[in-house]
């Protein structure tokens, strides 16, 4: 199951030239700086703009080739714009029903109740769009897009117009949507933080070209790509809740490279979680330290090193086959004689848990 | 106060204004929509053409209509070939003249209202399964409602006050083409000032009330009350 998209779009000086093949499941992020062509590509996928010589196939649905163009209203997709763009002449309920009632009953898989529940907007039904907060408006817009039971959900920086508090208000909803509905999502973003929290798959766009594409955990830690060089560079680790320790009030999380210890979380055993480990919180030692307060220590192999300015070095290490990043000084790297293949121990000073 | 003839003229005037407004709303809506959406490079020519009645002396417009609609004009000959009498000096001719004369007052507010919507709500509707026609009726028209109010009132009020065009192509046939503005002119010519006063005052009052409505509505919608 995959999404195949080929577009060549010329607009003045700007030239978008992409040939994409991404899995049609989970959240795929189109990531890149402003003006790299993310929104243009998303609009082309939606069919909002028709471009010559495009090709687009979503699973078994052919939406565009040289002889064939399905207009946007005949494509079973949902689109969330950067601005909520609710219809000002309709109240929340009628906004939600606008798309729903245009979908044949047989194709309705997401109920209005389910969409409203997922986004927590049941209490807003009678309100007019202009009486809602920015965050509420965007939640209604997302529910409205879900209510058409899309087979592909396109989201164009749905959080970019919101302040930090509103973003944090909506992110959990997006995560639950991801877990509860089996709808592939293409998510446009220029925020590394959002991408790390949401995406499973990453497409890196730069100046209208695809620079790299791959699984999020790999893309975040690849030293030939810009994300690993951000000041907040981090690794993502999928782990499973293994046990709780009542005595010390701790939770143990297992991943292929070992076991993380974190302060106790109200999660059932077996729950899958996503951990973020920042590069600057990881230090490397040659021997397993015993006299330390750090609990999360794992055997690792150095995979690659790249200087970060003149004083620091970014190190990609493999922990049980899972890539992680460490940022160390050039001096320490020399003392430890770090080089690819070297066996070390990675100490993670802090770990953040995503839902 | 009002003579029998005055009341007939009033009835004809209202009928003319109502009919003209309805025809303009029906024809002007798709036209204004096209003007607001089209990227056609020759669009400005049509825009200028629509705006012509704003600057042209009504007698000029009336003169050309008289020539066109008269028995020897191109439209007139076509009509005669179809077996219809000349439209000059008939109520139908008056309606045709009024539609052209009041066109900018209906088309321009509609075009502005459609342009103000922008393309975003229509894009949203397209991704919510609405076909182009469906988007027009379920999104564009409701969102342009303030424009429809302005267009209808301005078109109606402007037709009420028409004089030059009527004089040229309508003539002054009581019960057929004699409208209020002509009746006032006749009263003044006959030095019946009190009759002229009553009719003029009535027209002034109606026009002022309608303009008050337009501006009050504009204010209402501008203050963010959604239609």
Query: Is A229 in contact with A279 (CB distance < 8 Å)?
Result: no
Reading the block at residue A3, the tokens are 């999404």
Nearest by CB: B129 against A81, A85, A99: A99
Nearest to B129 among A81, A83, A148 (CB): A148
Instruction: Report residue A355's pLDDT band, with 50, 70 and 90 as the boundaries.
Output: low
Is residue A88 within 8 angstroms of chain B, CB to CB? yes
The 10s digit of each residue's pLDDT in A273-319 is 899 999 999 999 999 888 889 999 999 999 999 999 899 999 999 99
Same domain for A27 and A139, yes or no, is: yes
Segment A16-21 shows an average pLDDT of 93
Strand partners, A17: A8, A209
A234 in helix, strand or coil? Answer: strand
| ipTM reported for the complex, 2 dp | 0.86
pLDDT value at B227 more than 70: no
- B140 near B123, Cβ under 8 Å? no
A46 to chain B: closest CA residue: B127
* Structural domains in chain B (count): 1
Q: Which residues contact B168 (CB under 8 A, 6 or more apart)?
A: B58, B59, B61, B62, B63, B65, B66, B97
DSSP B86: P
| Helices marked H in A101-215 | 112-119, 134-146, 164-180, 192-198
The answer to whether B226 contacts A89, with C-beta atoms less than 8 Å apart, is yes
Give B197's contacts (C-beta < 8 A, 6+ positions apart): none
* Residue B227 within any structural domain of the chain: no
In a domain, B142, yes or no: yes
Residues A115 and A60 in one domain: yes
Residue A337 lies in domain: 234-353
Q: Is residue A104 part of a domain?
A: yes
* pLDDT tens per residue across span B190-224: 999 999 999 999 999 999 999 999 889 888 877 65
A34-93 confidence digits (pLDDT tens): 888 899 999 999 999 999 889 999 999 999 999 999 999 999 999 999 999 999 999 999
- Partners of residue A23 on adjacent β-strands: A2
B111 confidence band (pLDDT: 50, 70, 90): very high
Q: Would you say residue A225 lies in a domain?
A: no
Q: Say whether residue A121 is in contact with chain B using an 8 A CB cutoff.
A: no
Q: Collapsing DSSP states into helix, strand and coil, what is residue A75?
A: coil
Q: What does pTM read for this prediction?
A: 0.85
- CB contact burial B47-80 (16+ within 10 A = b; e otherwise): eeebeebeeeebeebbebbbbbbbeebebbeebe
Shared domain for A182 and A329, answered yes or no, is: no
Structure tokens at A315: 């190190």
Strand order in the sheet with A272-278: A258-263, A250-255, A234-245, A272-278, A352-354
Partner residue facing A72 (CB), from B127, B143, B226: B127
Does A102 touch chain B if contact means CB atoms closer than 8 Å? yes
Q: Are B102 and B159 in contact (CB under 8 A)?
A: yes
Q: What is the CATH number of the domain that holds A242?
A: 2.40.50.100
Flag whether residue B39 sits within 8 Å of chain A, measured between CB atoms.
no
**In this complex, how many residue pairs, one in chain A and one in chain B, have their CB atoms less than 8 Å apart?**
66
| Residue A146 tokens, joined | 């879900």
A71 and B CB contact within 8 Å: yes
Its sign, for the CA torsion A35, A36, A37, A42, is negative
Question: Looking at the domain assignment, is residue B109 inside a domain?
Answer: yes
């Amino acid at each position: 199951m995959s999404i195949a998209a080929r577009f060549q779009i010329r607009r003045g000086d700007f030239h978008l030239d992409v040939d994409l093949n991404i899995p049609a499941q989970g959240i795929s992020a189109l990531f890149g700086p402003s003006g790299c062509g993310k929104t243009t590509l998303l609009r082309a996928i939606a069919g909002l703009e028709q471009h010559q010589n495009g090709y687009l196939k979503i699973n078994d649905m052919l939406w565009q080739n040289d002889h064939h163009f399905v207009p946007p209203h005949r494509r079973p997709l949902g689109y969330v714009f950067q601005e909520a763009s609710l219809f000002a002449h309709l109240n929340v309920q009628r906004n939600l029903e606008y798309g729903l009632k245009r979908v044949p009953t047989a194709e309705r898989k997401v109920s209005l109740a389910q969409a409203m529940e997922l986004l927590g907007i049941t209490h807003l039904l009678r309100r007019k769009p202009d009486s809602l907060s920015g965050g509420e408006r965007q939640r209604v817009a997302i529910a409205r897009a879900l209510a058409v039971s899309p087979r592909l959900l396109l989201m164009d920086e749905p959080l970019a117009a919101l302040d930090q508090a509103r973003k944090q208000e909506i992110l959990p909803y997006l995560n639950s949507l991801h877990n509860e509905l089996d709808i592939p999502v293409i998510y446009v973003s220029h925020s590394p933080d959002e991408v790390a929290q949401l995406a499973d798959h990453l497409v890196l766009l730069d100046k209208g070209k695809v620079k790299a594409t791959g699984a999020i955990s790999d893309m975040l830690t690849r030293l030939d790509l810009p994300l690993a060089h951000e000041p907040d560079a981090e690794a993502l680790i999928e782990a499973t809740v293994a046990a709780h320790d009542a005595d010390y009030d701790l939770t143990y999380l297992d991943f292929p490279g070992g076991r993380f210890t974190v302060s106790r979380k109200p999660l059932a055993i077996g729950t899958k979680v996503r951990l973020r480990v920042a590069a600057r919180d990881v230090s490397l030692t040659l021997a397993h330290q015993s006299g330390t307060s750090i609990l999360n220590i794992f055997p690792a192999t150095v995979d690659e090193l790249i200087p970060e300015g003149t004083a620091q070095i970014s190190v990609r290490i493999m922990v049980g086959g899972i890539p992680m990043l460490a940022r160390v000084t050039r001096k320490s790297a020399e003392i430890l004689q770090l080089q690819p293949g070297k066996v070390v121990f990675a100490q993670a000073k802090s770990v953040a848990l995503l839902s | 106060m009002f003579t029998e003839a005055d009341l007939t003229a009033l009835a004809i005037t209202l009928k003319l204004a109502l009919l003209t407004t309805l025809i303009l709303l029906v024809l002007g809506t798709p036209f204004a929509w096209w003007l607001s959406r089209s990227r056609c490079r020759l669009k400005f020519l049509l825009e200028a053409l629509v705006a012509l009645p704003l600057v042209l002396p009504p007698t000029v417009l009336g003169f050309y209509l008289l020539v066109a609609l008269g028995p020897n004009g191109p439209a007139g000959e076509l009509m005669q070939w179809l077996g219809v009498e000349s439209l000059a000096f008939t109520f139908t001719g008056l309606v045709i003249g009024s539609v052209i004369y009041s066109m900018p007052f209906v088309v321009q507010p509609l075009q502005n209202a459609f342009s103000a919507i922008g393309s975003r709500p229509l894009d949203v509707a397209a991704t919510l399964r609405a076909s182009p026609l469906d988007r027009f009726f379920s999104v564009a028209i409701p969102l342009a409602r303030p424009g429809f109010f302005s267009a209808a009132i301005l078109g109606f009020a402007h037709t009420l006050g028409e004089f030059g065009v009527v004089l040229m192509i309508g003539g002054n046939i009581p019960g057929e083409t004699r409208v209020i503005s002509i009746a006032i002119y006749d009263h003044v010519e006959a030095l019946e000032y009190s009759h002229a006063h009553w009719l003029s005052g009535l027209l002034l009052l109606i026009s002022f009330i309608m303009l008050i409505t337009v501006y009050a509505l504009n204010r209402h919608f501008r203050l963010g009350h959604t239609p």
